[in-house]
Amino acid sequence: MTAAGDPGGAEGGGATPRERADHEAVERANQAFYDAVEAGDLEVLGELLLDGEQGESVSVVHPGWPVLRGRGHVLRSYALIMANTDYMQFFLTDVEIAMADGTAIVTCSENILSGGPAQEDGSAGELVGGLVVATNVFRRTPEGWRLWSHHGSPVLSDGPDEEDEGTGTGGGYPQGPDESA
Amino acid sequence: MTAAGDPGGAEGGGATPRERADHEAVERANQAFYDAVEAGDLEVLGELLLDGEQGESVSVVHPGWPVLRGRGHVLRSYALIMANTDYMQFFLTDVEIAMADGTAIVTCSENILSGGPAQEDGSAGELVGGLVVATNVFRRTPEGWRLWSHHGSPVLSDGPDEEDEGTGTGGGYPQGPDESA
């Protein structure tokens, strides 16, 4: 249905075996990325990011954060997140993949359950649930698909009929979609 | 400095004329995208999105919103935003471009000044400023660079030393970077 060089889902009825294999490999790379964050494994995470000269072009936006660029900044930010969360679990839903010429864009919802460090009295840190949507861009490399860009953002509104709320924490945009419009 | 097929900035001292031309074309496409939103011109905006079969793989995340996929949903969301903002101006800063194999990732800060519709008494809608960071992915097409993915998110925290704040509206992530860590 989609030519190899064209953006488009690889799940169409006319997808070639190569496209299906690429699709599965990208989905595995995306899951491995979240597994590494969940496990607090900075070394595995580092292996999943684009490396070498390309590593400087890696960009990450954590929910509510500014842009971080380059492997060094990105890995330090994950070290900080891992140091401040004793527990972090991602349930990925609504995962969609678009591909073109060795680049894949994964969009998905991260249903997150996280907890801070244990309290001084030894009790567990507070557990917090959250919904984040992410756009993750992967590049095909000889070693497999590697993360080029991750952008996660909190879902602050998911209901319709809020278009008259004006602006809020959305940075100057009206809040909330209205699919019924 | 970077080979044509490798991700990386095109501004390096060793960039070829082709790379520099691509870089400038992507920057123009990115600016044109914001100009179209600013002008409330849905037709021009539609011309800047990937089209045809590829149009179904276009994804957009507005600040605080869930993922929207496909030209139809995306254009309807912009129609909603345009209908609810009489005034919207983007000052782009910190624009960086990474490129590989006909795909370009633009990361930038959108310094937004926006205003809602005029009040019933005829007075102007309230002006609101906001800071959004965006990751925009473009594809090279015979008609020029076209938007494949846009993900914007509000910057809720930009200060260090907030890593002990635990979780907030960031959907389960600790808030705020700490570049000094």
pLDDT tens, B75-93? Answer: 999 999 999 888 899 999 9
Best probe of the B interface among A57, A111, A180, by most B CBs < 10 A, is A57
Per the CB < 8 A criterion, the answer to whether B147 and B36 are in contact is no
CB contact under 8 A, A61 and B133: yes
| Angstrom distance (rounded) from CA A128 to CA A86 | 12
pLDDT grade, residue B123 (50/70/90)? confident
Contact of B76 with B60, CB cutoff 8 Å: no
The token pair that represents A42 in the structure block? 């900075």
List, for residues A54-94, the tens digit of each pLDDT value. Answer: 899 999 999 999 999 999 999 999 999 999 888 899 999 99
Position A172 pLDDT exceeds 80: no
SS3 content of chain B, % helix, strand, coil (to 5): 30, 35, 40
Which one of B66, B94, B137 has the shortest CB-CB distance to A158? B66
Could you give the C-alpha distances from B78 to A5, A109, B55, in angstroms and in order? 28, 21, 15
Q: For B132, which residue in chain A has the nearest alpha carbon? A: A171
Best-predicted range by mean pLDDT (A113-127, B8-22, B161-175): A113-127
H or E element in which residue A115 lies: strand A103-115
Separation of alpha carbons A53 and B53, rounded Å: 34
C-beta atoms of B54 and A109 within 8 A: no
pLDDT at B8: 47
Position A164 scores a pLDDT of: 38
CA atoms of B172 and A81, how far apart (whole Å): 10
State the smallest CA–CA distance between residue B118 and chain A in angstroms. Answer: 12
**B151 CA: distance to closest CA in chain A (Å):** 7
Q: What is the pLDDT of residue A65?
A: 95
Q: Which chain A residue shows the shortest CA-CA distance from B6?
A: A54
Give the orientation angle of helix B71-83 with respect to helix B17-39, to 10 degrees. Answer: 50
Identify whether the C-beta of residue A8 lies closer than 8 Å to the C-beta of residue A99. yes
Given CA atoms B134, B19, B45, B74 in this order, what sign does their dihedral have? Answer: negative
Torsion angle in degrees (nearest 10) through CA of B138, B4, A55, B20? -70
Task: Provide, as residue numbers in chain A, all residues whose Cβ is less than 8 Å from the Cβ of B59.
Answer: 96, 98, 105, 107, 135
d(CA B67, nearest CA chain A) in Å = 7
Q: What residues does B135 pair with on adjacent strands?
A: B107, B151
Average pLDDT over all residues of chain A: 84
The backbone torsions φ and ψ at residue A63, rounded to the nearest 5 degrees and listed phi first, read -55, 120
Task: Kindly report the nearest CA distance between residue B123 and chain A, in angstroms.
Answer: 15
Alpha carbon dihedral A58, A94, B147, B48, in 10-degree steps, equals: -160
| pLDDT over 60 (residue A122) | yes
Do β-strands A127-141 and A103-115 pair in parallel, antiparallel, or remain unpaired?
antiparallel
Higher pLDDT, A169 or A164: A169
Tell me: the pLDDT tens digits for A14-24? 789 999 999 99
Residue tagged 């990208």 (tokens)? A26
Nearest to A58 by CA among A41, A82, A74, A79: A74
Contacts of A154 in chain B (CB under 8 A): 64, 153, 156, 169-171
Average pLDDT over chain B, rounded to whole?
84
Give just the sign of the alpha carbon dihedral A74, A75, A76, A78.
positive
For residue A38, report the phi and psi dihedrals to the nearest 5 degrees.
-60, -40
Flag if B56 and A8 touch (Cβ within 8 Å).
yes
Res A158: pLDDT: 59
How many Å from the N-terminal Cα to the C-terminal Cα in chain A?
A: 31
Q: What percent of chain A stands above pLDDT 90?
A: 64
Q: Report the residue from A96, A103, A131 with minimal CB separation from B69.
A: A96
